[in-house]
Structure 1
Amino acid sequence: MSDWHPSHASRWFAALCSDRLRGAPVAVSLLGRPYALARDAAGRAFALEDRCPHRHAPLSHGVCGASGLVCPYHGWRFDASGRLCEIPGLPADAALPQVRVRAAAVREHDGLIWLRADGRDEGELPAMALRNPPGSRRFLWQTQWRAHVVDAIENFLDPLHTHSIHPGLVRRGGARQPATARFVPSQQGFCVDYLGQPQQSGLLYRLFESPRESERALFDAPGSAQIEYRYANGGVVRISLHFAPHDAATTSVFASLHVENRWAPAWLVRALVWPFLKRVNDQDARMLALQSDNLRRFGAVRGASTSLDLVRPWVQAFWTHGAPPADAQAKDVALML
């Protein structure tokens, strides 16, 4: 985990959609470390480092037995804590070697499997993952962006790229209006309220939305970000993205849509809304890949910033130092949105 601040090992990250983990192990990677995710006989998920300590075969290519994960090479069997339980061919009276596989802590919540790399089942999941009412989720999807986690989080929370990357779909460049961004930081994240724009100029708003009461962007450390829309008719829509670094150049992204107090059955969201959101994702993924490639071409360069770049300093400081900027303070910023 040399690419990451040591404190990130003690934080929870989304690792896989629950419905993707069934009878066979699944390989995932978090903070540059590979894991094999599996389920025990009771259906509980567990995660072991994806390497058998015998001859280093990937456990994610093994099988889930009645009481653990079996290595595909020589059949060594490990329980959910990583303890070696059996070596086929070893006489019954022979002692097992004192080896084990490193385990990550695992929790499941709202359709996602979460990992904590230090193996301690302690602390809370990000508050954002816990605040959505049961039954409000309309879809859940996972993908990967070829981008550093800081660039990925900034992209999602930055409204000013939407005019050029999603022209006409999210916002129209020729329809910018004065607005105020109210930035309020905390020790665990921040929120940005966008004031003075009850409507949005793009096709998504015109097709699926109604006059808004508020638009808010939120970030909960380590990698949970959300756009929340509240409407004059009492409805609430939350688009949440949970980011988990696969490695320094690739970020796993888990997207969900939660809806409250308005008619929006899951089948309708998947049929009508999801194709537009998928297009937005593909446009962002393409730009992030171009950005990532260019950063590799030019090396470690510092980007120019203005007062409009509200979220980057907080996110950058957290991922670099494990804490928010020492001088973070609430502020209002005028912008044309």
Structure 2
Amino acid sequence: MIDWHPSHASRWFAALCAERLRRTPVAVRLLDRPVVLARTGDGRAFALEDRCPHRHAPLSAGCATGDGLACPYHGWRFDRDGRLCEIPGLSPEAALPSVRVRRIAVREHDGLIWLRLDGRDEGELAPLVREFGPDSRRFLWQTRWPAHVVDAIENFLDPLHTHWIHPGLVRRGGARSEVLARFMPNADGFEVGYHGQPQQSGLLYRLFESPRDSERARFDAPGSAQIEYRYRNGGTVRISLHFSPESAASTAVFASLHVENRWAPAWLVRRLVWPFLKRVNDQDARVLGLQSANLRRFPGVRGASTELDLVRPWVEAFWNDGAAPPAAPREVRMRL
């Protein structure tokens, strides 16, 4: 367990695909905090710390009661706000003890359940999250990467690893061309625009894409990242990943694909495109696992960087310091 910056408790993180939360409570972990998710009888999601204050049994092993949760050990019942409502076997004349379970704030948006650990249901989700809804979404999926959240975010936003980790699938090493990358910080995070490569050299582009008008990567604090492709025919494809650290060595990842002004029915995306994207995910997870395991062999080391590592300093500073570092726009030429 590590000490996360206190400010992260007041930020919203994706925790679960909403369709996975039905009648049975679900245990999740966020910033090293065990949390139980459940639904009331009318379908509203709620979240509590996953610990009964009586004998510390996990509430996620209990059952939903219509308006809350019952502990699996002695049946203590708590409402959706964590208030103790009933102790089986206690005399009706006896007063309930003044104990409660810590409440976690919950929201649902775009097929995901979002949590805020300080329990305050206030503040907006990141702009990158609010901009898109289910009408343009073609799939939604969750997985886990064996990596620190900074390494996971950098991996997704870093185009230079794709020649080596996804050879021939995303890019081919022998087909590089010069690209101008423009890094632009903003109030919510940053974006990187890539100019000069209307076509990509990998199989995914050749099978499913057409000449691009623009390509950009975006990051909104705390953990939402997106790669956007705009095409000359007016279409747009956005691959969004939301990163939620479970621990220092494990990050929950929630992936969605949004398509606008382009024929791509959900059934076709799932059948034809998804197998390729799943392979890309597995390749990334494997190399991140190798990186994470080696960092445990060499604790405390810092990586060397060059001007090509545009996103790492910003993401690392945010997660370590809890706020965006001062940054100026930058332009870097690279061969992709």
Answer yes or no: same fold by TM over 0.5: yes
1:183-233 C-alpha deviation (Å, 9 max, x unpaired): 001232000000000000000000000000000000000000000000000
- 2:187 and 2:320 map into 1 onto residues whose CA distance is 15
Could you tell me which residue of structure 1 aligns to residue 291 of structure 2? 291
Matched, 1:235 2:235: yes
What is the SS of the residue equivalent to 1:75?
coil
The AA in structure 1 aligned to 2:38 is A
1:117-166 C-alpha deviation (Å, 9 max, x unpaired): 00000000111111114410000000000000000000000000000000
Deviation at 1:42, TM superposition (A): 1.1
Matched, 1:138 2:112: no
1:172-321 to structure 2, matched below 5 A, reads 172-321=172-321
Deviation at 1:250, TM superposition (A): 0.2
Matched, 1:8 2:8: yes
The AA in structure 1 aligned to 2:138 is R
Contact kept in structure 1, 2:2 and 2:248, CA below 8 Å? no
What is the SS of the residue equivalent to 2:301?
coil
The AA in structure 2 aligned to 1:335 is M
- 1:109 and 1:22 map into 2 onto residues whose CA distance is 16
Alpha-carbon spacing, 1:82–1:133, altered in 2? closer, same or farther (3 Å): closer
What is the SS of the residue equivalent to 2:257?
strand
1:231-278 C-alpha deviation (Å, 9 max, x unpaired): 000000000000000011100000000000011000000000000000
- 1:126 and 1:247 map into 2 onto residues whose CA distance is 22
Could you tell me which residue of structure 1 aligns to residue 29 of structure 2? 29
- 2:278 and 2:173 map into 1 onto residues whose CA distance is 21
- 1:318 and 1:115 map into 2 onto residues whose CA distance is 19
The AA in structure 2 aligned to 1:50 is D
Could you tell me which residue of structure 1 aligns to residue 72 of structure 2? 72
Deviation at 1:324, TM superposition (A): 1.8
Segment drifting more, 234-243 vs 184-193: 184-193
Deviation at 1:3, TM superposition (A): 2.1
Alpha-carbon spacing, 1:325–1:43, altered in 2? closer, same or farther (3 Å): same
- 2:258 and 2:99 map into 1 onto residues whose CA distance is 44
Deviation at 1:323, TM superposition (A): 1.2
What is the SS of the residue equivalent to 1:152?
helix
Could you tell me which residue of structure 2 aligns to residue 330 of structure 1? 329
Could you tell me which residue of structure 2 aligns to residue 97 of structure 1? 97
Aligned length: 336
- 1:133 and 1:44 map into 2 onto residues whose CA distance is 19
Contact kept in structure 1, 2:9 and 2:117, CA below 8 Å? yes
Deviation at 1:2, TM superposition (A): 4.9
Deviation at 1:171, TM superposition (A): 0.2
CA RMSD of aligned residues (A): 0.8
Contact kept in structure 1, 2:183 and 2:192, CA below 8 Å? yes
The AA in structure 2 aligned to 1:294 is N
- 1:272 and 1:52 map into 2 onto residues whose CA distance is 46
What is the SS of the residue equivalent to 1:14?
strand
Could you tell me which residue of structure 2 aligns to residue 129 of structure 1? 129
Contact kept in structure 2, 1:187 and 1:323, CA below 8 Å? no
The AA in structure 2 aligned to 1:65 is T
